[in-house]
Chain A
Amino acid sequence: MQLKHLIRHFAVAGLALAAIVPAHAEKTVLNVYTALETDQLKAYQQAFNSAHPDIEIKWTRDSTGIITAKLLAEKAKPVADVIMGVAASSMVVFDREKMLQPYAPANLKALNPRFRSAGATPTWVGMDVWGAAICYNVAEMQKQGLPRIESWKDLLKPEFKGKIVMPNPNSSGTGFLDVTAWLQMFGEKGGWDYMDKLHENIAVYTHSGSKPCVMAGAGEFPVGIAFEYRANVVRSKGAPIDIIFPKEGLGWDMEAIAIVNGTAKLEAAKKLADWATTREANELYAKNFAVVAMPGIATRLKYVPNDYEQRLVKNDFAWMGKNRDAILAEWQKRYATKSEPKK
């Protein structure tokens, strides 16, 4: 009977499908929430697993704003065991909410003391610094006859109307560090005035911090307010962009790691935190970022200037953490209707 054959084929197909489902070995599964770029995750995971093959990392990746919202929402019943590669400004918020487990990782002493939270035992430890940069498509600049950019204020020129993309601070950590940097550099009023005018020139607010530079690279919009890692990657891929570090100073934030308070897998979590402070880990960070937690490792990125670290603005994480909600609400109120639909 033909039907029997067909059913058999279906059954075989079903088995085949089931076989694709990976078999789960007896491993400790560590839930790690992260805002790291997808292209970085793989290298970190491989390096960690070669040292600790018994621990399997299950990443939950999203942009800074979304991961932060998710962690806050799950506060009562956390899913995450470890938070890795999330902005220090968000870590400050978690810390205030008593969501973090204090722990001093093995190599803490080898790190730059600025890369840790205050207090005897740190609740979070920094990994690297990521800071603002502008991607400027030179091909389009010439084609459209646009002026040069040297400073943040240059972005306010009327020629740039509808030509600038920047990330939405509500979802993007990069967007948030830009906003906080402007507020710290230009003062509260000056900062908002600046953003009001900038808003006039913004074509789209994107959800992720990476997209503006990629869009600039593709010439979709010539100017993207971005961060140096992505700018470096896009440039390396051959996009006709200049990476500009505005002279007023660069906003920045720190990617950090922390253990979630009350995790059932504390031992495995500690192993990941320990690994994150090793030299090996820092060397991996250094491939992507100009400034990392362990002094003396930073290698120069091809398209990032040597004095990058000196260009960073003075940053107050405590202030950023405390005012995070208020700043975002104010931003939302002023510019929300022009935010690109967030992911």
Chain B
Amino acid sequence: MKVAGLSTLPPGRRATVSERLGGPLLLLAAVALTIFLLLPLGALLLGAVRDDAGAFSLARFAEFAATPGMATAVWNTLWVAVVVTAITVPLAFVYAYAIERACLPLRGLWRIIGLSALLGPSLVGAIAFIQWFGTQGVLKAWLGETSVYGPVGIVMATVYASFPHALMILVVALATADGRLYEAADALSASRWRKFVTVTLPGARYGLISAALVVFAYSVSEFGIPKVIGGNFPVLAVEIYVQVVGQHNFGRGAVVALLLLLPVLLAFAIDWWVQRRQQAGLSARAVPYRPRPDWRRDLPLLFYCLLLATAMLGILGMAAYTSLVRFWPYNLELSLDHYIYGLAEAGVLDAWLNSLRIAGLTALFGTPSVFFTAWLLEKCQGGPTGLRPLVRALAALPMGVPGLVLGIGYILFFNAPDNPLNGLYQTLAIMVVANIVHYYTACHLTALTALKGIDREFEAVSASLKVSPFVTLWRVTLPVCLPAVLEIARYLFINAMTTVSALVFLYSPATLPASVAILNLDEAGELGPAAAMATLIVLTSAAISLLYSLVTHLLFRRHQAWRQGQR
């Protein structure tokens, strides 16, 4: 069975066709990322430093600085972000600590509830807080004379919305502790507090920094929440919207977008830098820490979880309740009026279908693109030098680009009359692309982790067996990485379903997504239908998450013969 005809190969042919495809394909990915990420950001930059005639000028910045209220907006944005970070991170840290470092019953449940805010758009919290603490709110008294419309509401809703993002990071940070350190501390009979300060906190410090930066960036770039509950409190994210959508002043919008991009990009650059230093954090010989029951620690933590979980369910529940109440606050009869008349009859339900379509297509096209690119990067050779670092950088960049900024970049780039891709503007396709790019980094990292987790030599073995790398991708790599692939698909779907920020600039009347419809409904004062739409989104996301759990569960059961120890 020897390979015949090797010597008859044409001279100069030094690799098989499929081996030579890796470079060009990766180049293609780089080009796509450049067109859909780098060039829009470039257009944004150019838009900010050019005057109306197109000449270079910093006049827009000067003009911006002189605009009344802008300094206030910058200041408001920053201090709110700091306050939100200062509240969310400790809140999430204790919650994560309870999940990972205490012996609580129903650990999985606390975790799911802790992450529940991810299922809906950020506006869910804002709507629910209006209902809880607004003028007619049940708990209005808690706020005293302070109105919920303004910084108080923004902070509360942003804390709620950013909580799961911090929680995810901190759970991971606390899950990977070295049990030996605690044993050593015990051997030295260190007090509980001392152990916490000398072992737990330092061990989680990278997670804490990361969580703080993520929450800060989230708060700075969040747009829906201040829009709905912000009252007369100006912040930058809304200011972009006012400039671009309200006044069609794209140049000014670009300036504000740059202003927004800077702190967020900075936050993620710091995070990246900090995480790189973490490499040596946990040695391979570490022993996983297993908490032992201790009621003095567990009972207060259980109470804490119960409290927070109740609050979080109360927020989701209030949104659902609002969607069912006939006429808040005067007629509390329950009905499906808001769904039937507010959504279906009013034609707004199309928005939900649009969102399903957008989310479905985002998952359908985004998952293979992300995974395939990561595979090309990790497992294939070829392409010009510098291509790989470029693709790596392009894949990491979206994390630091708020959706609003990306959206403005898209308008400036794709709406330019002389852009050959102009036809994409205001189509469903561009919203799908914007979503894929916006959520690229997290998906890319998931794919990369999965790919790094499998044997490095698969490709070498296949090459030695004269099997094309694409066949090995299809027969081996993809099946082995299927859990990660499904995870990426779910992540893309849910985020595409719930996102507002980038899409708010890109939709046309025919492609209005549900999350933006909530904004519009709220704007018309239709809080009931807005809550109904929010509830629909939450239910959809929950259904997809359930489906995902089911599929992965079945997958692991079917593959248990070979997936041992992979979970």
Closest to B73 in A: A337
Q: Does B238 contact A (CB under 8 A)?
A: yes
Residues of B within 8 A of A103 (CB): none
- A contact residues around B250 at 8 Å (CB): 73
| B357-374 CB contacts (< 8 Å) to partner A | 357, 360-361, 364
Q: Which one, B147, B234, B523, contacts A203 given CB within 8 A?
A: B147
CA–CA, A341 and B555, complex, Å: 47
How many residues does chain A have at the interface if contact means C-beta atoms less than 8 Å apart?
A: 61
Min distance, Cβ B370 to any Cβ of chain A, angstroms: 15
Q: List 9 A-B contacts (CB under 8 A).
A: A2-B555, A20-B356, A69-B247, A70-B248, A170-B247, A203-B149, A337-B68, A337-B234, A343-B520
**Residues of the A chain whose Cβ atoms lie less than 8 Å from the Cβ of B230:** 340-341
Q: Shortest distance in angstroms between B228's beta carbon and chain A's nearest beta carbon?
A: 9
Contacting A at CB under 8 A, from B508-541, are 508-510, 519-520, 523-527
Cross-interface CB contact of A66 among B136, B245, B361, B527, cutoff 8 Å: B245
The chain A residues found within 8 Å of chain B, CB to CB, are 1-3, 6, 10, 13-14, 17, 20-21, 37-39, 42, 58-62, 65-66, 69-70, 72-74, 77, 139, 162, 170-171, 203-208, 210-215, 218-221, 237-240, 332-333, 336-343
Q: Which residues of B contact A (CB under 8 A)?
A: 68-69, 72, 130, 134-136, 147, 149, 226-227, 230-235, 238, 241-242, 245-248, 250, 327-331, 346-348, 353, 356-357, 360-361, 364, 417, 428, 478-479, 482, 508-510, 519-520, 523-527, 555, 558-559
Q: Report the Cα distance A144→B509, complex, angstroms.
A: 42
Q: Is the CB of A3 within 8 A of B331?
A: no
* Among B68, B348, B364, B559, contact of A333 (Cβ-Cβ < 8 Å): B68
Query: Contact at B330–A214, with CB atoms within 8 Å?
Result: no
Asked if B525 and A219 sit within 8 Å, CB to CB, the answer is: no
Contact of B523 among A39, A139, A208, A332 (CB under 8 A): A208
Nearest residue, chain B, Cβ from A338: B232
What residues of chain A lie closer than 8 Å to B147, measured between beta carbons? 162, 203
Contact check, B519 vs A210: say whether CB atoms are below 8 A apart.
no
With A39-B346, A72-B248 known as contacts, the answer to whether A343 contacts B509 (CB < 8 A) is no
B330 near A69: Cβ-Cβ < 8 Å: no
Q: 7 smallest A-B Cβ distances: which pairs?
A: A214-B525, A73-B248, A341-B238, A211-B525, A338-B232, A17-B360, A69-B248
> Contacts A3-B482, A221-B135 given: A14-B364 contact, CB under 8 Å?
yes
For A207, the chain B residues whose CB sits under 8 A away are 246, 523
Q: Please indicate the chain B residues that have their CB under 8 angstroms from the CB of A3 in the complex.
A: 478-479, 482
**Contact status of A211 and B523, CB under 8 A, knowing A17-B364, A69-B247, A219-B329:** yes
Q: Is the CB of B346 within 8 A of A65?
A: no
Given A10-B364, A38-B346, A77-B417: A341 touches B525 (CB 8 Å cut-off): no
Distance (Å) between the CB of A228 and the closest chain B CB? 16
